[in-house]
Amino acid sequence: MKQVFNFNAGPAALPKEVLQQAQQEMLNFKDSGISVMEHSHRGKLYESVHEEAKTLLKELLSIPDSYEVLFLQGGASLQFAMLPMNFLKQGELAGFITTGAWSEKARNEAAKIGATEEIVSGKEQNYTTIPALPSFAEDRYKYVHVTSNNTIFGTQWENFNAISHPFLIADMSSDILSRKIPVEKFGIIYAGAQKNLGPAGVTVVILRKDLLQQANKDLPAILSYETHVKNRSLYNTPPTFSIYLLHLVLQWVKSLGGLDAIEKKNEEKAAFIYEAIDHSNGFYSGHATKDSRSLMNITFTLPNEDLTKTFLAEAEQRGFIGLAGHRSVGGCRASTYNAVPMEACKALRNFMDEFYLNYGN
Ligand SMILES: Cc1ncc(COP(=O)(O)O)c(C=O)c1O
């Protein structure tokens, strides 16, 4: 089989071990004679996968018992709408910290449901940096929304010390499970699975249970968090195969030593590639300012369009996949999610060094 290094931004690389296990179990899950996809979501075998996945996620992220873990569909994009539908009533205001295109989308969707206000935006700096947060009166906002990692621009909140609100919501689609996070700081955390958690199709929502008391009771059942909490994410047919793979990914993360080990590895992986950028005398130019660099999405440009094209074409020939930047910003992007191996990042670094030597003068 062709050797490739997968730097896709999402759907993204999955751990090889996970895919191998899924392959082994594909036709005969737990000696049942059928695949996991063919089991009833109300049957014992599937239910144990479903519940164990929740338990493992709670363990790995140290989620307190006061929170519920939900497995929903509709991607992070449905959360952009469900959050205000459930929690933003007339006369209330939602505050948004805008650090990239996905934060903008989250706010635009919320603005269709209720009143929103931008607390701060990095747009004027072309989202190169995580902006300093101005002080604000907490009681001005029903909730405050933040995006922890900006997949398109390649910036990330290093920590959440500067942000404080009793009802803080974070879109962690592109960095969940990549590092330790203070879950207690948040009312709700949500993430589409297709970067660090598993395949597309399932969205994880971590919700502080007491918030349900404030939720809108008049929504269609499928759009209400309460429905999904009451039914343990089994209100309707869940994406069983995606949740099964999520379960395997969580077991894999645990087997590697949990988030301490993952975080360290992610730091080392990203450092290889940032070093190639920093040692290139400006040939590669990082989009993010150094203090806002993402450990998950490394964005950079080359001196001109032609060189970018040549870089991407030569990279592809050498087996590097998914290095083109997002269509809205161009340039290059290497996504170094959990399942991207260290050797892929080293290989990319070597390729970048070599390309610079060939074309940099
Ligand atoms: C930070 C962030 N939020 C939201 C989304 C949208 O996710 P979905 O496609 O699951 O709706 C993405 C997708 O890349 C993302 O990176």
Q: In the prediction, which pLDDT does 106 show?
A: 98
The predicted pLDDT at position 19 comes to 98
Under DSSP, is residue 187 helix (H, G, I), strand (E, B) or coil? Answer: coil
Give 127-148 pLDDT, tens digit per residue.
999 999 999 999 999 999 999 9
**Is the distance from the beta carbon of residue 77 to the nearest atom of ligand 1 less than 6 Å?**
yes
pLDDT at residue 115, as a whole number? 98
**Length of the chain as a residue count:** 361
Q: What is the pLDDT of residue 2?
A: 82
CATH number (3.40.640.10, 3.30.200.20, 3.20.20.80, 3.40.50.720) of 16-255 reads 3.40.640.10
pLDDT at 1: 83
Report domain extents, the chain.
16-255, 257-359
Asked if residue 175 has its Cβ within 6 Å of ligand 1, the reply is: no
Residue 121 β-bridge partners: 98
CB-CB neighbours of 291 under 10 Å: 9
Helix (H, G, I), strand (E, B) or coil at 165: coil
Is 147's C-beta closer than 6 angstroms to any atom of ligand 1? yes
- Please choose from 103, 147, 149, 151 the residue to mutate so as to test ligand 1's pocket, defined by most ligand atoms within 8 A of CB: 151
In a 10 Å sphere around its CB, with 0-12 CB exposed, 13-18 middle and 19+ buried, how is residue 41 labelled?
A: middle
Amino acid identity, position 192? G
> Which regions in the chain score pLDDT beneath 70?
none
**Protein residue with its CA nearest to atom 16 in ligand 1:** 151
Tracing tokens 């400006």 back to the chain, one arrives at: 282
- CATH C-level class of 257-359: alpha beta
